Chain A
């Protein structure tokens, strides 16, 4: 840490600081193609609902066991389990990463 920053923190009797000067709206800027691609990756798009750590230890989850995807990721799942292909959303209907991140912003 720079000495001037250290001195200022000591003067303010602070032990840490956070950068808060560069906040911007979630819908600013272009979406990140990499995150969008990850969102559509089969391993991530079919992510089951996140569960808390089980009190009784780690729960075994059979790899082949069909589990419901989370509400959030169901919206982005290109191939939802158990749905006929005719009902699958068209590519154009699928939400973008921008809306995904906007949703996250609403959750904060």
Chain B
């Protein structure tokens, strides 16, 4: 069991895309994965082939999860549900699942609520100038690495485009700044957008895409992180709980 929070202080960087594809990759490797959409944008489902008007089962209502490609999908994005978000997570952690939580940039309070019980926080950034500019916010007044060094935070750089000098420079800048906390890069690939438009998972729509290859790599890296291995070793033992 493990809790993975996918959250970025910057909106629009592809947090939901990373959460969805990470869940799919972990499930494809045989993990018991539950993906919970905590974002009021309600867009996690689109990466699994749902229509915009279709609703995911609600985690707080005790609904049966909808299973797509081995990932159990749930929503916990109504305001009244988020008051006890920890309960939605604990139910599945108690069953030994890996829970991937997609948390919107604006839901910093929810992120801070779940963070103490998280085994891993994936902070998604891009090499866009506006995304780089939020880096000091991560530090919250402390030196950056002291701030994230006390948290299970790792970085994923999304939409990398090494055709552009700014993209290359920014990627190197972040890599140097965060060291081995930058665990993966996802190349900019229109196939991600096209898969959404086709209402198909990326692996089905574009099995040869560069982004899919990167997501497969991300899944393998995350699975091998010491925090996840340790969490896996705890599986079957007493369930960890998160204090709301």
Contact = CB atoms under 8 A, between A and B. Distances in A.
A10 B208 contact: yes
B208 A6 contact: yes
A79 to B, nearest CB: 12
A91 to B, nearest CB: 20
Interface in B135-184: 135-136, 139, 141-147, 149-152, 161-166, 169-170, 172-173, 175-181
Nearest to A16: B213
Nearest to A49: B145
Contacts of B146: 48, 61, 63, 65, 67
Residues of B in contact with A, size category: 35 or more
A88 interface: no
B191 interface: yes
Nearest to A107: B176
Contacts of A92: none
B230 interface: yes
Given A1-B191, A34-B133, A55-B226, A101 B143 contact: no
B111 to A, nearest CB: 16
Contacts of A47: 143-145, 177
Task: State the majority secondary structure of interface residues on A.
Answer: loop
Contact of A51 (B147, B149, B206): B149
B208 A14 contact: yes
Interface residues of A, number: 48
A48 B145 contact: yes
B208 A15 contact: yes
A94 to B, nearest CB: 17
A10 B149 CA distance: 43
Interface string A11-49: 000111111011010001100101100110101101111
B143 A67 contact: yes
A84 interface: no
B208 A38 contact: no
A9 B165 CA distance: 26
B210 interface: yes
A58 B225 CA distance: 12
Contact of B150 (A22, A43, A52, A58): A58
Given A29-B165, A53-B226, 15 more contacts: A1-B191, A17-B210, A22-B164, A32-B129, A35-B169, A35-B170, A35-B173, A43-B141, A43-B142, A44-B136, A44-B143, A50-B145, A53-B181, A61-B149, A67-B146
A-B complex: 6 closest residue pairs judged by Cβ atoms: A50-B179, A43-B139, A16-B213, A43-B136, A104-B172, A61-B150
